[in-house]
Every structure is written in C-alpha cells, then in structure tokens.
Structure 1
Amino acid sequence: MAKVLQVDVAATVLSLGSIAHLQYYFARTGLLDGKGGQVAEDQRSRITGSAGVSIAGVDEPPPSSSLEEEESVLVLEDSHLDARTSESPVNLNGSSWETQAHAVLPPTVSTYNQKAVYVPSPPDTTVLRAELREALDETREILREAGIGMIVRDQNSALKTAHWDMVKGLKLLEIVTLNVRAARMYYTSHGCPQRLYCIRPEREIRADLHQVFDTLCRIVSRDFAGGVRSAEIESIWEWTAIVDELLAAEEAQERLEKKERETWSWRQGDWTGREREREWLFLDTFDLHHEPLPHWDSPIENSQLPTPFLRALRNGLRLIQLHNELVMKSRRRFEMIENFHTDTSKPYRCADNLRYWVKAAQLRWEVKLDVDVLGVLRGNDDTAWRKFDEAVLQWCRRVREEISTEWENSLRNTEDVERIRS
C-alpha cells in the first residue's frame, strides 16, 4: 500500500507543471513548512516590519526637517514620476524601493494534465525485409523503363526529349532514394546485425550504399542531360542484385536455424516430473564447453552433495558463458557479462563469477536468485547447495521461456507477412 501511495505522489508532483505552480502546490499543502519553504514569507514580513516601524515613528526624523521633506515630495510630484512613488511619502528612506514578491497564479486544469508519451515499438525485421523487397521491385521497374526509354529516344524533338529526361530522371531519383532509405533502415534496425556481417562485411555494405549515392549525384549534377546513361543503370542494377543475394542468403540461414530448432525436444511436450532433465537438455544445447555437461540429478534424491552437475557450475565460469551465449541468441542483446575471471584457482574469483551471474540474471532476465555464494564455495553446507540447485533451475526456466516465446513470435510474424504478400 505504501508503495502505491509513493508512486501516486511522485506522479502527481511530476505533472504539476512550472516551478511557480510547484511552489503554489507546496504552499497550499504545507509539505515544506519548517524546511526552507518559509523564506519568502520571512522576507515579506521583514519588508512589512520595516515599513511599520517607519510609520510608527521609531525612525521618525527630527521635527526641524519636516518642512524640507514635504517640499521634496512636491518636487517629485512635479517631475512627472510614477504616482505610486508619491503615494507613501512617509517611507522614502529605501524600504519601499525593494522588489516585491511576485504573486503565484493558481494552477489551471491543464497544469495537472499528465500527457502520455507514445514510444513506438522497434520495427520488426520481417516487416523491414518485406518493405525492402518492395522497394527493390519498384527500382527494377523504373530501371527497366529507363532502359527502354534510351532505345526509343526521339532525336528530332530536342526540347521535348530534355523535358522528358528530367521527368524520368526525377522519378528515378525518388524511387532509388527511397530504396536506399529502406536498405539503410534494414541494416541499422536489424535484430541480428552479426548475421548480416557474416554474409557480407559491414565495410562492403556501406561502400555499396555510397556507390549508389555517387551515381545519383552524377545524374543530378548534369541536370539529367542526356537521360540516365547505361553505365549508371548497370551500377544501380548491380546494387539491387547484391541486396537480393544478401536477403536470400539470410533467409536460407534462417531456414536452417528453424529446421535445427525443430529437432530440440525440450521446446515442447509434457515434462511434468522431469523438469531438471528438460533444463539440462536446454543447457546442453547452448553449452560451448569442451567437456560435456554432467547429468542433472535432483539434490533430494542424491544424498551426497554436491552433485557432479553442481560441482561443474561451482566456479561460475560455465554459467557466465551460458548466459552470454543465450543473450546472443535472444532478440534483446544487452547485459552481457564482459569482465569475468577465467582463471578460477582462487576462491574469491569463483565468488566474483557467481555474483556476476546472479546480478546479470536479475538485470537481463528479470529473475532474482537466492544463492549463498560463500556456502557454495565452502562446500560443506547442504542447504547452500540445494538453494544453488533451485536458483539454476529457476534461471533456466525463465531463460528458456523467454527465448521460446521470441522464436514463436518471430515465426508468427513471418507467416503473417508472407500471407499478406501472397
């Protein structure tokens, strides 16, 4: 209940608006009474007090100078100064010249109106690929029309031909520019850019884009005179072929991965009573260690602790490697453990690795694990080993469910896009 109240108060304060309305809010609620909020009030009271003292006659000048003060007041009025200056001739010794505090206007309805900020979801790779293919088809069509126009050019009407060349050139410029934009969006917003760079290096991808831009700049620099030349058409056509080959290779690699995932038995089925066997198959699929992972036995059934499986994970190095590999397989590639100990001959290094893994599981997979690191390293506390076994089981279940959900959503999006295109 206290947490909900805390969130509501924070949301109310954040939606107050300007600083003036924030001051008005605290003045009305009295939240800052005795905490510095009375500074302005003290200043106003000090100004009022000094004026009251002058009126009361504490600082009253001697009677001999009263006529001189009245004459000075008359002189000020004749000088056409502000009428407010001469309304209080009693307090002309400087107190009335002090700046008065600005009145805080009460908040309006729009002041407390909290506007919801819309954050668009990241573009899906399947949708971007479909848009890029459509742009490639349009580019090929306009290049085909430009090639036919070169063959049937009318040499007799030079003015008509120049006008027609400019129209066709502007259309070509617009469509190819949109195609380059679609390709750039696909490259920069790709879910797995490493897969693209394995097919074609990033340097070559950038060089291809720059080459297309140079071709378009040459066409524009001569004001489309002579139309689009054959060398320029061939250059843009070669770029579209390169992009097509890249997309085809990527789709072939995705089909192989999909076929490989269908062979994994741990993805589906009823595993009631065999939870550790399922998670062991899941870990063994992504384990890159040269030694095979020992079978995962339940610590309740086995009286001797630690089990060979827990002993293999004791130093934390294998858990960190599994975490990094699974992060790379997921769509949200962040919170990888980059700094860890590979030499685990010292106990404190094993403890650091386990703590790194526990914290990364909390930040990346949003699962809080209860691991007694020191008890695991001592090796003589059965309760610590059972808690470690339960933490690994909880982590495996959470990671497997997230990755499986991402694969299912990706497959569903691909089928939807193919259905729309067909």
Structure 2
Amino acid sequence: MSLGSIAHLQYYFARTGLLDGRAGQNVKRKENGQMDIPKVNIRSSSQRFDDPAEVEEESELLYEAMKEEGEEIMLPPTVSTYSNRPIYVPPPPSQQTMKRELVDSLENALHALHAIEASENSSKGEEDLGQGFYELEGLNVLDATTLAIRAARQYYTQHPNAQRLNSIKPDNQLRNELYDVLEVLKTAAGRNFSGGFREHERLSILVWVSDIGMMIDQEAKLDDQERRSRRQWQWLDGSNWHDCDPTNRELDFISFLQYSADIPENDRISKLGDEFWLSLVDGRQLIKLHNAAVKKSKRQFGYIEKCHDDVAKPYRRAENLRFWLKAAELRFETKLKLEVMATVSATDESTRTLKDFESTVLAWAKGVRLDLTKDWNGDEEKKLHARARSLALASPTGSPKKPFSTSGSPLKESLKADVGEIDPHNISP
C-alpha cells in the first residue's frame, strides 16, 4: 500500500471511532457496570464520502471545533491523493518544426535591425528621435534576438543527427557565439538603450544571424547530396511499383537493408530464396536490418545495442526475436504479433509457422519503409533551406561571395573608421 492510502485509512478509523470503540482497547466502564462504547459514525455505502466538497467541508468543521477546544489534530489527507491523473508529456518537436521556428526567429531579428536602420535613415537631418523611440526599438530587437538565441540552442541540442551538425559548427563555438550576442544585448540594455544600438552591436547581431543561416545552408547542402544518392533507392519511388506484386517492394527494401548492413552476399535474399526466411529465425540478421534502417533514417535513435551471437540455445534465439519486436514497436511504432517459441523451433517442414513469420517480417518492412519515406519526402525542407540561404547572405561579411563593404549597406560609411578591422567570429561588445 502507498503512504497516501495508509494516511486515508488512519484518518478514516480515527474519524469513525473505530480506533476507540470497535477495537475494544479504549472501552470504558460506566458506574453501573455497563460498557461505555463510543458511538460509531459509520455511514452506509451509499452515503460515504463520494463528494470531495463534502469531505473538505466536514474536515474543516472538525478541525475548527478541535482547534477551539485547544486540542491538536492531524489534518485529514487531501482528496487529490485518490485521483490518478496521468501526466501528459508532449513529444519532442521534429527537426522540421525546430528548423522552421529557428528560421522564423532569425528573420524576425533581422527585420527588427532593419527597422531601426530605416527609421534612422528617414530621420536624418531632423530632430533627435528621442529616448522613448530608442527604448521601444531596443526592446523589440532584444525580444526578437533572445527568441532567436533560444531557437538556435533548442535546434542544436535536440537535433536528431547531432554528429552532422557538430561537424558543421562545433558545440563550443556555437555556445561562445551565443554568449557574445547575449553580452551585446546585456550591454545595450544596461544603458537603457540610450542613443540606440551602436554600429558594432548591430554588426555583431547581424553576423551571428548570418552565421546561423550559413550553418543551416551547409546542412542543406549535405541533405542535397544525400537526396541525390537516394535517387538510386528504387523502393522509395512508388511509381516504380504500380504494376508489381506489393511484396516485391518490401523484398527490395529488405535487400537494400542487407546491403547497407554489410551482410555477406551468400546470406542475402537474392541468393537463398525460400530458405531466406528460415535463416532469419535466430534474430541476428533481423537486428542488423533494424539497426541499418535506423542508420538510414533522419532520427537516428533506437538502436539494438546487444544481441545473442551464440544461438545454439532456443531461449537465446527467442530473446533476439523479442528484442527485434520491441525495438520495432518503440522506434518505428510498428506493433507485430508473432509466436516466438514456435518460430525459433521452426524447420523446413513447419510450413504454417514460416508463413506467419514471413508475413510478420513483410509487415515490419512495410512499416519501416513508410517511416523512412515520410522522413525523406517533403517540399517544405526546400523552402526552409532557401530562406536560410537568404539569411546567410544578409551580413556584409556573412557570405564568401560577398566581400566586406559598407557601400550599398544599411550600415554607415564610417563603420570601418569607428570600429576598425572586425573579426566577425571574435566580436567583443
């Protein structure tokens, strides 16, 4: 029993008088010799504390009465102890959602900077814009840039393929750039945005936005290379399988996974034929196929780390199959039904068992194939990459094709004279 249930039982026994009367240890004898048994306040089953409000009201009245008499009383347990409310934990956002939020926040920060420059250019030769304007525009830039920093940190820390992102921009470099931009915002807010943002402050934020855009653009180029290599995946294009048996597509997908898992050619489906299904009953090759599918997906998690290589005992083959079934359910959300012990003991004469096993493997292949197809198909990725490339070209030092020049830029012509030679990756506020 849990502690909450014990507390409720103790309170119930004390409240109804069971501890005083029914147990008999506290029964008192009257002067006439009769037993003084306290009245038990037990309600019928239809009148028990079904209404939480009634329980709370009666508990408060009892507590107030005992408090007036100067006696100490333990507060009754709350009704919420009985309620079992499942806590909903939302799933983590997908890579596409995080990338969309990052690109949107970067564009908002860039628009906030351009709004300040446009206002200053339109008011040249006129009166000062005033402290109120500087504070309003400064808060706008502060909010937009802070949200962009938060989106960049979330995108980097929750990226499904962190190794690829780390190869583009190391973790410590990204963290230092985030701290530099935060220090710039802290300095500007510390002086209450007096006089607006300085030129080097604007440039540091602009260069940071450009660097993040370049990071997304480089990631898009790697995705394009993989997309070109995926054109050779016949199972990915549904137009190739209109007039074919549906199982042929799944068999081609299994053959693709075998090639990716470096399974010897003599053990592949193209060589074994009907004996291929019997070679899978020990579970070792199925685990390799599962790990190969995870490696080919965008979200590389859910590997099967261990399996039994020595499959002389039936229970080891059964555990390998159970590992594979559970991993398919957790990683690819494909729930399969299989008689495990009958499968591991199957022989060439077990026709029905092997047919059921074959159907299970084909159902697994279809579920995994649909999951990978959903990962790699989508036009929204291309639009996000195009927007990220435009962000990479926003900074005067951001693009290698765009040399540093203040001509034609919203930055003032006196930027070099005021700031000097600026390294965009090492800007001190």
The DSSP-based 3-state class of the residue aligned with 2:306 is coil
**How large is the Cα RMSD of the aligned pairs?**
5.0
**C-alpha deviation, 1:147, in angstroms:** 5.2
The DSSP-based 3-state class of the residue aligned with 2:146 is helix
Deviations 1:94-121 (A, max 9, x none): x76x997899544269999998977656
Deviations 1:362-386 (A, max 9, x none): 444321233446425xx66544655
Contact 1:361 1:368 in 2 (8 A): no
1:107 to 2:36 alignment: no
Deviations 1:269-319 (A, max 9, x none): 5478745532231123333233343317663xxxxxxx2x34664653332
Distance 1:109 1:51 in 2: 33
Contact 2:261 2:292 in 1 (8 A): no
The 3 A distance-change label for structure 1 pair 175 and 273 is closer
Pick aligned residue for 1:347 from 309, 312, 334: 312
**C-alpha deviation, 1:244, in angstroms:** 0.9
1:322 is aligned to 289
- Counterparts of 1:197-236 in structure 2, within 5 Å, are 197-236=166-205
Pick aligned residue for 1:278 from 233, 249, 263: 249
Pick aligned residue for 1:295 from 270, 291, 299: 270
Contact 1:335 1:360 in 2 (8 A): yes
1:131 to 2:101 alignment: yes
Q: TM-score scaled by structure 1? A: 0.61
**C-alpha deviation, 1:237, in angstroms:** 1.3
- Answer with 348-357 or 281-290: which moved more: 348-357
Deviations 1:121-161 (A, max 9, x none): 65454344333323222322333455577889989989x75
The DSSP-based 3-state class of the residue aligned with 1:339 is coil
Q: Which consecutive residues of structure 2, in runs of 5 or more, have no partner in the other structure?
A: 55-78, 386-429
**C-alpha deviation, 1:323, in angstroms:** 0.7
The 3 A distance-change label for structure 1 pair 223 and 317 is same
Pick aligned residue for 2:365 from 380, 396, 399: 396
The DSSP-based 3-state class of the residue aligned with 2:206 is helix
**C-alpha deviation, 1:241, in angstroms:** 0.8
- Report the residue type matching 2:252 in the other structure: L
Deviations 1:55-109 (A, max 9, x none): 76247xxxxxxxxxxxxxxxxxxxxxxxxxxxxxxx6xxx76x997899544269
1:179 is aligned to 148
Q: TM-score scaled by structure 2? A: 0.60
Pick aligned residue for 2:304 from 337, 345, 354: 337
Contact 2:109 2:145 in 1 (8 A): yes
Question: Greater Rg, structure 1 or structure 2?
Answer: 1
Q: Greater RCO between the two (CA within 8 Å, min separation 6)? A: 2
The 3 A distance-change label for structure 1 pair 337 and 41 is farther
The 3 A distance-change label for structure 1 pair 117 and 58 is closer
Q: Which consecutive residues of structure 1, in runs of 5 or more, have no partner in the other structure?
A: 1-17, 28-36, 60-90, 300-306
Contact 1:266 1:281 in 2 (8 A): yes
The 3 A distance-change label for structure 1 pair 137 and 336 is same
- Report the residue type matching 1:54 in the other structure: K
Q: Identity over aligned residues, as a percent?
A: 26
Contact 1:196 1:250 in 2 (8 A): yes
- Report the residue type matching 2:324 in the other structure: W
2:388 is aligned to none
- Counterparts of 1:375-394 in structure 2, within 5 Å, are 375=345, 382-383=350-351, 385-394=354-363
Contact 1:286 1:326 in 2 (8 A): yes
- Report the residue type matching 1:202 in the other structure: D
1:46 to 2:22 alignment: yes
- Answer with 49-58 or 203-212: which moved more: 49-58
**C-alpha deviation, 1:246, in angstroms:** 1.9
Distance 1:153 1:321 in 2: 67
**C-alpha deviation, 1:239, in angstroms:** 0.9
The DSSP-based 3-state class of the residue aligned with 1:140 is helix
